[in-house]
Amino acid sequence: MREIEEYQGRILASEEEIRAMTAELGARITNDYKGKELLLIGVLKGGFIFMADLVRQIHLPVTVDFIAVSSYGSSTKTSGVVRLVKDVDVPLAGKHVIIVEDIIDTGLTLTHLKELFKTRNPLSVKICTAFDKPSRRKVDLKAEYTGITVPDEYVIGYGLDYDGVMRNLPQLYVLNENILKD
Ligand code: PRP
């Protein structure tokens, strides 16, 4: 069993930077969605921490729901076809939707989710992501609300895992290179 410190490489985003990022995005969303019916949809598992912070910075009567997605085997990462393991419990019709993610990598997951949600007649579908790795993009996808851009490295913490652990780190770290050597 490893110690938590053994997983941590250098810090990419401190707690202070993350706090400033969620406050700024929350303020922008509050301003953009005044008087509109807003539904935030978090993508499990990684999105749960960002959702919890973001929603407290949005000063509007929002609805919150979550989805869980899973890949159809190894081809999914390249095809972007995802299976909904858990769907939202509410209809999207007549609502403005923001999908809340921890990170965009190739962009395939969110491209698929956006298309899927659009078939349910919402008034709009936008994306809010805490972190973005634009250098990894395979499709032309941009989030309307982006927090911190990160380099193409294995990142952990603030919802992002390595082998299921480290989601609970309050800052964003590069995975320690020694972990991958073992
Ligand atoms: C991560 C992240 C996004 C997706 C982004 O989820 O939370 O959902 O990958 O990658 P993409 O842009 O290349 O599609 P992951 O599959 O690691 O699941 P998790 O959130 O449960 O850890």
Instruction: Find the CATH number of the domain harbouring 113.
Output: 3.40.50.2020
The answer to whether residue 63 is domain-embedded is yes
Q: CB of 102 closer than 6 A to ligand 1?
A: yes
Token pair, residue 80, equals: 């972007």
Q: Mean pLDDT of all residues in the chain?
A: 94
Between 77 and 105, residue with greater pLDDT: 105
Least confident piece of the model among 18-22, 67-71, 92-96: 67-71
152 has catalytic annotation: no
Atom of ligand 1 nearest to the CA of 103: 2
Between 160 and 181, residue with greater pLDDT: 160
Atom of ligand 1 nearest to the CA of 160: 22
148 alpha carbon – ligand 1 mean position (Å): 16
Domain count, the chain: 1
The answer to whether residue 161 is domain-embedded is no
Does residue 72 carry a pLDDT above 90?
no
Q: Region 64-77: what's the mean pLDDT?
A: 76
The answer to whether residue 167 is domain-embedded is no
The answer to whether residue 178 is domain-embedded is no
Residue 57 belongs to domain spanning: 15-152
Q: Quote the crossing angle between the two packed helices 15-32 and 48-55, to the nearest 10°.
A: 60
The answer to whether residue 58 is domain-embedded is yes
Q: What's residue 17's pLDDT?
A: 98
Q: Which of the four pLDDT bands, split at 50, 70 and 90, describes residue 120?
A: very high
The number of beta carbons lying within 10 Å of the beta carbon of residue 134 is 15
Q: Which of the four pLDDT bands, split at 50, 70 and 90, describes residue 76?
A: very low
The answer to whether residue 2 is domain-embedded is no
Distance separating alpha carbons of residues 3 and 163, to the nearest angstrom: 14
Query: In sequence order, which residues have a C-beta less than 8 Å from that of residue 103 and are 6 or more positions away?
Result: 46, 129, 130, 131, 132, 133, 150, 155, 160
The answer to whether residue 174 is domain-embedded is no
The answer to whether residue 177 is domain-embedded is no
pLDDT digits (tens, 9 = 90+) for 13-36: 999 999 999 999 999 999 999 999
Q: Which of 105, 140, 152, 182 is catalytic?
A: 105
58 alpha carbon – ligand 1 mean position (Å): 24
